[in-house]
Amino acid sequence: MPSGPRGLSSAERRLTGMLAIAARSLSHGGHDDFNQGQISARLPGSDRLLIKGALAGFDECTPDSVVLAPVDPAENPPRDAPPELVLHQAIYLARPDVNSIVHSHAPHTLVFGATDLPLRALSHDGAYFQGRLPRFTQTSQTILDLMIATAVAATLADAPAALLRNHGGVIVGKSVRHTCVFAHLLERACRLQLMAERVPGGYHTSTDTDIEAKRDFNFADLSIKSYWDHCMNRVLAAEPAAANWMEVGR
């Protein structure tokens, strides 16, 4: 079985399997951009995190592609850490409730972030994000600087995701399964609204009452687990080698 980085606890080894499966799922969902983009996770309250390494794309990530890194940006990063590690560090420092982060250049999320459109509850997916999807507009460059990363975290505040102007999105959650699912939801919500914006005559959206009900039911932890299981099963069907990660991926 692939081991991932050395010196991990059994719980952290489980995270490497989940991260690799989630990365492959993101690839299947259209988040690929060469080897760019990251997914990371940490155990609750931990001072270290696990993150997809710099050289592997979502489509080729395995547990051995995962890198162990400090949450504290003042510590030296590992050689294979991605350049935007500091973005993840800044968010973890600002959000004790967050245990997993996705940053990707998913195409519809990127295009939607380049507009000034508010994301609306056109679909179930949109209902999750309506009213809590801020935009970071200070720069569209790769986030390499702690000051900029901290500004992104401040823009994100307590939201489940933020759009980076001309640079994709940042999605957070309390677990790998939540963050992976939310990244899929955001890309789908952006895609559907961009389609609807082209329809003559406009379109309808969910009421506030329906939005609240959808958030309570469609995105409850049990629902998220079922969506994650679906994502994981698709990865296993398309990538037979991922079956070797299953023991640590559940």
In a domain, 250, yes or no: no
Q: Which residues have C-beta within 8 Å of that of residue 221, sequence separation ≥ 6?
A: none
Token pair in block for residue 146: 């702690």
Which structural domain range is residue 99 located in? 10-239
Per-residue pLDDT at 8: 93
In a domain, 247, yes or no: no
In a domain, 3, yes or no: no
Per-residue pLDDT at 245: 87
In a domain, 70, yes or no: yes
The DSSP annotation for 113-170 comes to: HTS-PPP--SSHHHHHHTT---EE-S--S----HHHHHHHHHHHTTSSEEEETTS-EE
In a domain, 246, yes or no: no
Per-residue pLDDT at 244: 84
- The tens-digit pLDDT sequence of the chain (250 residues) is 345 787 899 999 999 999 999 999 999 999 999 999 999 999 999 999 999 999 999 999 999 999 999 999 999 999 999 999 999 999 999 999 999 999 999 999 999 999 999 999 999 999 999 999 999 999 999 999 999 999 999 999 999 999 999 999 999 999 999 999 999 999 999 999 999 999 999 999 999 999 999 999 999 999 999 999 999 999 999 988 898 886 644 4
Q: Count Cβ atoms below 10 Å from residue 50 Cβ, excluding itself.
A: 26
Gap between the Cα atoms of 118 and 180, Å rounded = 22
**How many separate domains does the chain show?**
1
In a domain, 244, yes or no: no
Beta bridge partners of 103: 38, 170
Per-residue pLDDT at 6: 76
In a domain, 139, yes or no: yes
CATH of the domain at 82: 3.40.225.10
Per-residue pLDDT at 153: 98
Per-residue pLDDT at 247: 62
In a domain, 140, yes or no: yes
Gap between the Cα atoms of 89 and 130, Å rounded = 26
